[in-house]
Amino acid sequence: MNKHKARFPHLPDLRGTVPLALIFFVWALKGHEASGPLFQDASIGAVFDTGLDLVKSGALWENYRASLLRVVLGFAIGGSIGTAIGLLLGVSFWMDRLFGPLLTALRQIPIFGLVPLLGLWFGMGESAKLALVALAAFFPMALNTYESVRNLPTAYREVAALYRFKLLYRLRFVLVPYALPGVLTGLKLALSFAWISVIGAELFLSAAPGLGNLLEAGREQFRIDMIVLGILLVGGTGWAMNAAVTALERHLLRWRPAFS
């Protein structure tokens, strides 16, 4: 797949960790001084201690779990509806003509611009937060599914017609595998958007346990260490979700030349 893999077949590719290590190095060296370039007053040790305290008191897990739960639920709702709608519009000419323009218009609206409206409909509590996350996951899922399904080449349609594939077989062995790469790209985007909007929802809507809440508390109390801890957790979780989907992609798309 690349030169690194060819040269060192048994070593994991750790090149991506170099910039990260550099930042940590600068941070450890000078970043926490009062006039330092990165995080004033927050040394690596201080952030670590804060993290330990919050773990001990159970506050960290409470906030983290609340955010994870929101992203899982919101993504499950928005992602599944998005996939279904994308599939429907992709295979049906009539549905595309009827609802395509509406979908295109709706996706132009920035998601956080909908916060007041969602507040009006769902209140400022948990359901509004879930609705925002679901919406964030909905669009990338729907659009990517729609595009991939619609682009099924005539060549494959003809083979399916020639061998008289039945509807279910056509879906399972032609349409789904063909659309899968695009759908998985949508999944990556949707998960990432959902995670971003979880933190946004927690900051914009009423206070409740969550990583957004942790960040907000840090801001109110001028606790840079808490903010840095929150940022590390949000970023790390986003990276982990992306890595999980990439692994899934590698497995599901192993028939593709680039992945084998």
Partner 1 sequence: MAVSKIVQLPTANRARETHEPPSIAVARRHHATELVVRNVSKSFNIDRRPLPVLQDISLVAQPGQFITIVGASGCGKSTLLRLIAGLDRDFEGEILFGGRPVSGPSLDRGLVFQDHRLFPWLTIEQNIASAFSSRPIDTATKRLLVKDHIALVGLNGFEKAYPHQVSGGMAQRAAIARALVNEPDILLLDEPLGAVDALTRLYLQEELQRIWLQKGVTMIMVTHDIEEAVFLGDQVIVLQPRPGRISKVIDVGLTQPRDREDSRILKLKKEILGEFHNPAPINYSI
For partner 1, the binding residues in 112-151 under the rule CB under 8 A are: none
Instruction: Judge whether 86 and 79 are in contact, CB under 8 Å.
Output: no
When the beta carbons of 159 and 247 are compared against partner 1, the nearer one is 159
For the CB of residue 57, give the shortest distance to partner 1 in the complex, in Å.
50
Taking the least distance from each CB to partner 1, the nearer of 107 and 172 is 172
Candidate residues 163, 220, 240, 251; the one interacting with partner 1 per rule CB under 8 A: 163
Contacts of 242 (CB under 8 A, 6+ apart): 188, 191, 192
Tell me the closest approach of the beta carbon of residue 163 to partner 1, in angstroms.
5
Nearer to partner 1 by Cβ, of 109 and 159: the residue is 159
Q: Between 94 and 255, whose beta carbon lies closer to partner 1?
A: 255
Picking from 219, 221, 218, 217, the residue whose alpha carbon sits closest to that of residue 208 is 217
93 binds partner 1 (CB under 8 A): no
Residue from 24, 44, 156, 196 binding partner 1 (CB under 8 A): 156
- Which residue stretch of 61-69, 112-120, 137-145, 176-184 sits at the interface with partner 1 (rule: CB under 8 A)? 176-184
Of 10-18, 172-180, 202-210, 232-240, which part binds partner 1 (CB under 8 A)?
172-180
Positive/negative CA dihedral, 10, 13, 15, 21: negative
By the rule CB under 8 A, 174 interacts with partner 1: yes
Q: How far is the CB of 180 from partner 1 (least distance, A)?
A: 8
Alpha helix ranges (H) inside the chain: 3-7, 17-26, 44-57, 59-91, 93-107, 115-122, 126-150, 154-162, 167-170, 176-204, 211-220, 224-252
Restricting to residues 179-208, name those near partner 1 by CB under 8 A: 180
Q: Which two three-digit tokens encode residue 193? A: 């958007």
By the rule CB under 8 A, 251 interacts with partner 1? no
Burial (0-12, 13-18, 19+ Cβ within 10 Å), 182: buried
| Residue recorded with tokens 């509807």 | 167
CB 137 within 8 A of CB 191: yes
Contacting positions for partner 1 (CB under 8 A) = 155-156, 158-159, 161-166, 169, 173-174, 177-178, 180, 255-257, 260
